Chain A
Amino acid sequence: MGNVAIRANALVKWFGEGETRTTAVKSASFEAGFGELLYIVGPSGSGKTTLLSMISGILKPNEGNVLVEGKDIWQMKSDDIADLRLHKIGFVFQDYHLFPRLTTVENVAIPLILKKMDWNEAIKVALEYLEIVGLKDRAELQPVKLSGGEQQRVAIARAIAGHPDILIFDEPTASLDGDTGRKIVEFIKTKILNPQRCVIIVTHDSRIYEYADSIMKMEDGKIIGFEQNTLHVV
């Protein structure tokens, strides 16, 4: 395991006020290192997505802090947090959120374009990433023309195109069949994870546990367990 990529200290997040107030995350602390594939598992509603959002600069915690590569991100200005997300963090959303009016390759190019890369250059680089996920021949198609597993791979290509240090996947296999799910995670493990990267995957899909380096269990907003993976396959 390498250096610490993300450290979360006593994160608390609640929604609503007064009687309707629900605390989604209750004092969660953990860290994830470079070269590590960390799973966050737990039942639906246990606060996994909320926690992911706080550590990736999307949702401001009510209490606690988040250090990304040593920097306290919630002390930063909102434009700087946006820059941090753009340059350091790659997301694969739960339901992909591809842009139906753009072609597959244009979808992958989005983070590059936001990084102000010239359009043609961005498309060229995006094509390389589509090739990595094995979808180069689908470049000019609209995402809706692709299967679920292919869309997921496009989303992965988009997440890695920006060359992020930290990759975050929220339930990447939830809407895929078992085989496709396994293939995706295997792909993440072998092609995307490297010693300079930290990958965090939220899932409750036990079929893919074997790929994790470590597994963090959540329940009712609390972290109830953290273990090195014994099922670990190398």
Chain B
Amino acid sequence: MSGILKIALKLLVNDKSKFIALLVGITFAVFLMIMMMSMFSGILARSSSSVYNVGAKIWVMDPAVNNATSSIPMPDYVLSHARSIDGVKYAVPIYFGNALVKLKSGTYQAVSVVGLDDATLYGRPELIEGKIEDIYAESAFVVVKDAEFKKLESPKVGTEFEINDYRGLVVGLAKVSSGGLFGIPTVYTTYNRAITYIPSMRFTTSYILIEPKSEADIPFIQQQIKKIGYQALTRDQFVHKISDFYTYQTGMGMNVLMMTAISFIVGLSISGQTFYTFILENLERFGALKAIGAKGHELITMILFQASFTALLGYGLGVGLASGLMILAKLRLPSYAAQVTYTNLIFAFVMVLIMAGVSSYIGVRKVLQIQPFDIFRG
């Protein structure tokens, strides 16, 4: 490290109380921002878990659907229409619904039920125990072994249970890539069994999943579906639609945005203010350095270094604290939804850079203004 940076560092770090105040300000702001954003990202990711888990390329739905789990049943002609479109390799229905499971202990547990197309089992999960063909057996269900699994009293292959007053039999355990938002277990069965067990309206198809012949066919398929008043979305479009719903129509996005902004402002004012006081108190020192022969750009380097050193350290501490807390929370609450994404990290980093930038800008202005003569005169 060059000598002037080392001096800058010592001036900063040896002023313990102010340095700690600076760090606390930035750490706190980063911590809050990361927590808020991670919570939000976690919820967004979970809200689309069914879409990811089923893995179909195209989803056909009623245009009013804005959330994978609250589907609007579609009449059968939509499926026939979908199958007739050029470019569709195959199109199958899928059923999403909820049921009540009566546990051995006598208590009830809500579950979400996915009914897979009987002919193809399209959207089937990956099994970690049992064989997927067994799903055709009488009363067969596959239980997803995720964070909510315990709520079904950790059933094994062969465990029997009661679901909506019908008999159910566990024939397999599955793993899925993403857990759901609502904290209830998920079971898979066939489409026909699902609609038999779960009371439903006249129409039963929640979504139609389409496998196109090629990527290039997608726009045409979407256009053909639109003609009959329905909507065909690619997986990413659907995820996007769900995220938009949570972000803009539930008030959640707005709240997170506000909290993040407040954390930023609080952090900026604490750290900016403290840094400014630090600079003011050291003004004489900077003036003396100037008098001795330090050049303007060297003083600027020193201040930028001081500000960015504190900012980066505070950023690291804040991220560490937030991650630590999330890890702890996940140990206690398996379905805790927060997740740190790169976008969150980068966003918080940019915010911290802005804090450092603003603080050093004020500092630099002040330091460049001082006249060594005023120092010299005493």
Residues on A facing B (Cβ under 8 Å): 49, 52-53, 58-59, 78-79, 82-87, 91, 93-95, 97, 99, 101-102, 106, 109-111, 113-114, 116-119, 122, 162, 170
Q: B291 touching A95 by the CB < 8 A rule? A: no
Q: Jot down 11 A-B pairs with beta carbons below 8 A, ordered by A.
A: A78-B296, A79-B296, A83-B295, A97-B284, A110-B7, A113-B7, A114-B292, A117-B3, A119-B3, A122-B3, A170-B378
Option from B284, B295, B373, B378 in Cβ contact (under 8 Å) with A58:
B373
Whether B86 sits at the interface, judged by CB under 8 Å, is no
Whether B291 pairs with A102 at a CB distance below 8 angstroms is: no
Q: Confirm or deny: B294 has a beta carbon within 8 angstroms of a beta carbon on chain A.
A: yes
Q: Chain A nearest CB: distance from B174 CB in Å?
A: 62
Tell me if B15 and A82 are in contact (CB < 8 A). Answer: no
Interface size band for B = 20 to 34
Q: Which of B11, B285, B289 makes the CB contact (< 8 A) with A114?
A: B289
Point out the residue from B3, B14, B294 that lies within 8 Å of A82, measured CB to CB: B294
Q: Is the CB of B3 within 8 A of A118?
A: yes
Question: By CB atoms of chain A within 10 A, which of B3, B290, B375 has the most?
Answer: B3
* Given contacts A93-B291, A102-B10, A111-B293, A53 and B3 within 8 Å (CB-CB): no
Task: Report if B376 contacts A (CB, 8 A).
Answer: yes
The residue on B at minimum CB distance from A112 is: B3
Q: Beyond the given A86-B292, A93-B378, A116-B3, please list 13 additional residue pairs across the A-B interface where CB-CB is below 8 A.
A: A59-B373, A59-B376, A78-B296, A79-B296, A82-B294, A82-B295, A83-B293, A97-B288, A99-B285, A111-B293, A114-B3, A119-B3, A162-B292
Q: Which residues of A contact B375 (CB under 8 A)?
A: 93, 97
Query: Counting CB contacts under 8 A, is B377 at the interface?
Result: yes
Q: How far is the CA of A128 from the CA of B155 in the complex (A)?
A: 80
Q: Chain B residues near A58: list those with CB within 8 A.
A: 291, 372-373, 376
By the criterion CB–CB under 8 Å, are A113 and B4 in contact? yes
A117 to B288, CA, bound (A): 19
In the bound assembly, the distance between CA atoms of A101 and B298 in angstroms comes to 19
Q: Is B293 touching A114 in the complex (CB atoms < 8 A)?
A: yes
Knowing A78-B296, A86-B292, A111-B293, say if A102 contacts B14 (CB, 8 Å): yes
